[in-house]
Structure 1
């Protein structure tokens, strides 16, 4: 098995909002990681399921530890330079962690309504077929 030297940020490459957010992060935050859409990632090698990758952004460390949602965002911030690690550290502490989790879930559930989002961005309920945008 090949060992990675950098963490991997796995996101939904079919979602315009997610792709825009990741591209912004690459330009402005500059996390030390490889950003890869789950549609092109070797999920089995990363130790994650397609269902989880469809559900939330993931941060996979070189040793295989997986963080999801707001904690994946916190890990990306912690890996960056400048003042970004301070923001990442704050997102790991209660009660900020709880607020970040709630905010992440709210954004994830409504990403198809946000700038850059399309009906393809709607998150599918686990075990169901194609996503149906919420009206």
Structure 2
């Protein structure tokens, strides 16, 4: 693989808006692609992984998901964004980033730019958050 890849849900308007923001505002050599148009086999990803969270596959084969993937993306960009990426890796920030990411993932259809198509499939929601809609660890 020549360059790193950041994979998002192209069926979600909120996710697509975020990817467009990355393309316009974050200088990076990373390939940003919706999972629906990515070669998941070549990236070593599954549809289920991509439905649950954004994914990072480094040029070196390293992988990350959710806020860890976002930190990797930011770390591979311009100087100011790189600082934000380092910030996301600080243990207390990282610990808070995961619940925040899960909340956004669970509610992305309600966020600006979101549509009903942004809602996670019921199976993925229950696998991640349990039948109550709360994270399984909290249930």
Do both share a fold (TM > 0.5)?
A: yes
Correspondence for 2:4 among 7, 26, 46? 7
CA-based RMSD of the aligned residues comes to: 1.6
Aligned to 2:38: 41
1:88 aligns with 2:68: no
Q: Which runs of 4+ in 1 moved over 6 A?
A: none
TM-score normalized by the length of structure 2: 0.85
Partners of 1:9 and 1:35 within 8 A in 2: yes
**SS of 1:35 mapped into structure 2:** strand
CA distance in 2, matches of 1:117, 1:82: 30
**SS of 2:114 mapped into structure 1:** coil
Correspondence for 1:126 among 121, 124, 127? 124
Aligned to 2:19: 22
Structure 2: give runs of 5+ residues left out of the alignment: 127-132, 134-139
**SS of 1:30 mapped into structure 2:** coil
CA distance in 2, matches of 1:31, 1:67: 17
Partners of 1:46 and 1:60 within 8 A in 2: yes
Structure 1: give runs of 5+ residues left out of the alignment: 129-133
**SS of 2:124 mapped into structure 1:** coil
